[in-house]
Amino acid sequence: MRRILNGLRGGLTFETTFPLSQGEEDFWSFVDNSFLYPMVGAIVGAILGGIAIPFSYLPEFIAAGTFLVVLYLICGILHTDGLADFADGLVTGGTHSERRSVMKDEKTGAAGLVSIFATNILLFSGLVELFSIDSFYQIFLIILTAEVLSKLGMHSVLFFGTSAHEGMASTFIDRMTRPDWVGGFLISFAFSALFMDPFVALPLIAVFLIVLGMVKLGDRVIGGINGDIAGAAGEIVRPIAIILFVLIDKVDVLALI
């Protein structure tokens, strides 16, 4: 139990701006118990969902914009930077090594800026519609579960991908086991089941399509997976999950079939 608690503390320190951990023990507990990734997402999602409830009294556009700022204040920009780096590497020609060098460059190129803009536009659009839902519970649950699925996406990229080079991603990949991934998936499935709607399978399917795409692109661009690609997966999954959950809530899917 102590290692689990240490792992959660290490995961929250790694995935947020909260300075909860004081040493490496917590981080390694998180690495050795990587099934906690979605649980870290659940904790962060619960905090964000709780903050979103009073925001829902504001006009939708103001609520969405303000919430977006709060999200970055809590989650930081580590993975946003990874998304931009991966986008720059994706559009660059050359060998795997040359593309890795581009991704390590501190300067953000046009592709990186466009990727950040695109994901934030999608996220903002989803949040505007989310804050028009007349249910505190649904708003809370959608934000919570989207964050869980975001972390499942990162966890799955690390599990299904192969390491492109030594680094943060390889630290997780080398220690991750099949039970770790299965545990993370079951945690994510449990949170998705709280909607009690069979169509919540759609966001889960979307997660795995994104994971598959990121792993394939990673192999093509740099010969495997690194931390930037895993982080990019989480940044892409978050807005897509929110949009799909909102559509499931607002659209009669059965009527479209």
- In the three-class reduction of DSSP (H, G, I as helix; E, B as strand; rest coil), residue 225 is classed as strand
The pLDDT tens digits for 105-160 are 788 889 999 999 999 999 999 999 999 999 999 999 999 999 999 999 999 999 99
pTM of the model: 0.94
The pLDDT tens digits for 67-92 are 999 999 999 999 999 999 999 999 98
- In the three-class reduction of DSSP (H, G, I as helix; E, B as strand; rest coil), residue 243 is classed as helix
Average pLDDT of 88-104? 87
Q: What is the pLDDT of residue 151?
A: 98
State the average pLDDT for the chain: 92
E-strand ranges in 60-164 read: none
- In the three-class reduction of DSSP (H, G, I as helix; E, B as strand; rest coil), residue 132 is classed as coil
Per-residue confidence at 22, pLDDT binned at 50, 70, 90? low
Q: What is the pLDDT of residue 104?
A: 84
Q: What is the pLDDT of residue 44?
A: 97
Give me the residue spans of the domains in the chain: 33-256
pLDDT at 252 exceeding the cut of 70 = no
Per-residue confidence at 64, pLDDT binned at 50, 70, 90? very high
Q: What is the pLDDT of residue 256?
A: 58
Dist. CA 16–CA 40, nearest whole Å: 10
pLDDT at 257 exceeding the cut of 60 = no
Q: What is the pLDDT of residue 164?
A: 86
**Ordered alpha helix ranges (H), 167-200:** 168-175, 178-193
User: Which among 110, 67, 120 is positioned nearest to 87, based on CA atoms?
Assistant: 110
Residues with Cβ within 8 Å of residue 92, at least 6 apart in sequence: 98, 99, 102
Average pLDDT of 190-205? 92
